[in-house]
Amino acid sequence: MVLKEMTRPLSLALTEEHEMLLAAVRDFAQREIAPVAAEYDESGEFPIDTVRKMGEMGLMGIEMPEEYGGAGMDTLAHVLTMIEIAKADASHSTILSVNNSLYCNGILWFGSEAQKREWITPVASGEEIGAYSLTEPMSGSDAGNMASRAVLNEAGSHYIINGRKSWVTSAPFADRIVLFTMTADNPPRSPHSNGGKQKGKITAFLIDTREPGFSRGKTEPKLGIRASATSEIIFDNYACPVENVLGGVGQGFKIAMTVLDAGRIGIAAQALGIAEAAYEAALIYAREREAFGAPIGSYQMIQQKIADMKTRIEAGRALIYQAIIAKERALAKGTRYTSEASMAKLFCSETAAFVTDEALQIHGGMGYSKELPLERYYRDARITRIYEGTSEIQRMVIARKELGLR
């Protein structure tokens, strides 16, 4: 039996530029976002003012080259930013993640030079908001089971798009969207039909939401990340120029999965940020809260919780750093880093669930009250095990890679 070479342990060191970014983002997050997070969570209102400020700081396109309106930094900078923003408010970090990982990356890696300049620049600079649309009402983890269709018109100049997409983050405010839909010669049975699976391949399109034929459906009333607006989007004979096909007809599935690898690193960082916020709150409470004549942190059962939370957080950080290194190597070689991204996302999302639950337990009844942010952390953490690939999908991806299955 031949054993494959083991991955050599690696680490990342923060440069002076990273340290400066970290300090600036932490200050901004705690000064501008944290004080208004509970209010936005309660109202469900989209935090457009602070999102614009994130754009002014260069955070909405942190990995994008400066020539396309971005900050020109690396994946580690994106991760550090995601963690600090998520510690203040997960909703803001969700908006940030979609803009960077899912929208901008796909165009940077697969777009033409003209597409990069037209479609990345206004979004990376924060002037406009980007979104990514893959899911449909009957197509979640099974991305290939799409009912929406794009049919080339007789003149060959435009694709006519019809269908309904669901769970589109930032859709109520998005100016531009990377859309994934089926390209096929035969049209759907009705403009909004979700039935009748038809032959075709997934293609990515660049969508301007201000054009005729595009509309927004119901906004989802969510358990957590409530200030991150999520809604359906509807296409009714939307005419998309052929110049707005991203990466070539039939290349959509490859693009979607490649982009999700990067997105999963971002969500792992988000989950870690939520976990850190909950842990730090529990640590302070365990030092200050007294019971039976002593701080509750002096009791072994509380100490066990603190030790377990801290250990899982640091293990999650190590997996994220491993995924960052794998991503940088993969981009240089033109390969994938799916397994590393999936492991980081799986572990960190489940760590967020564990840590927020334990932190709430340490706080007792006060943790269950909206007077403290613990219950918000608890609700926000739950989505990290679902979006950008459920925990079940991550386990399948990891296992199939280890078993050598396609």
Predicted confidence band of residue 34 (pLDDT cuts 50, 70, 90): very high
Predicted confidence band of residue 12 (pLDDT cuts 50, 70, 90): confident
Residues assigned a catalytic role: 388
Domain ranges for the chain: 16-129, 132-249, 253-403
CB 160 within 8 A of CB 219: no
pLDDT of residue 79: 98
Distance separating the N- and C-terminal Cα atoms of the chain: 21
Predicted confidence band of residue 138 (pLDDT cuts 50, 70, 90): confident
Q: What is the pLDDT of residues 222-238, one digit of tens each?
A: 999 999 999 999 999 99
Nearest partner of 204 among 180, 184, 183, 185, judged by Cα:
180
- pLDDT above 50 (res 81): yes
Architecture of domain 132-249 in this structure: Beta Barrel (2.40)
Q: What is the pLDDT of residues 89-137, one digit of tens each?
A: 999 999 999 999 999 999 999 999 999 999 999 999 999 999 999 999 9
CB 196 within 8 A of CB 147: yes
d(CA 68, CA 61): 9
Distance of CA 46 to the CA centre of its chain: 17
pLDDT of residue 198: 44
Predicted confidence band of residue 139 (pLDDT cuts 50, 70, 90): confident
pLDDT of residue 202: 95
d(CA 86, CA 283): 18
Architecture of domain 253-403 in this structure: Up-down Bundle (1.20)
pLDDT of residue 11: 53
d(CA 103, CA 113): 16
Q: Does pTM surpass 0.95?
A: no
**Chain mean pLDDT for the chain:** 93
Strands 294-295 vs 290-291: parallel, antiparallel or unpaired: antiparallel
d(CA 148, CA 135): 10
d(CA 45, CA 364): 29
Average pLDDT over residues 299-317: 98
16-129 has which fold?
A: Butyryl-Coa Dehydrogenase, subunit A; domain 1 (1.10.540)
CB 114 within 8 A of CB 189: no
Show the tokens assigned to 200. 């075709």
- pLDDT above 60 (res 8): no
Q: What is the pLDDT of residues 331-370, one digit of tens each?
A: 888 889 999 999 999 999 999 999 999 999 999 999 999 9
Quickly tell me which residue has 């054993």 as its tokens. 3
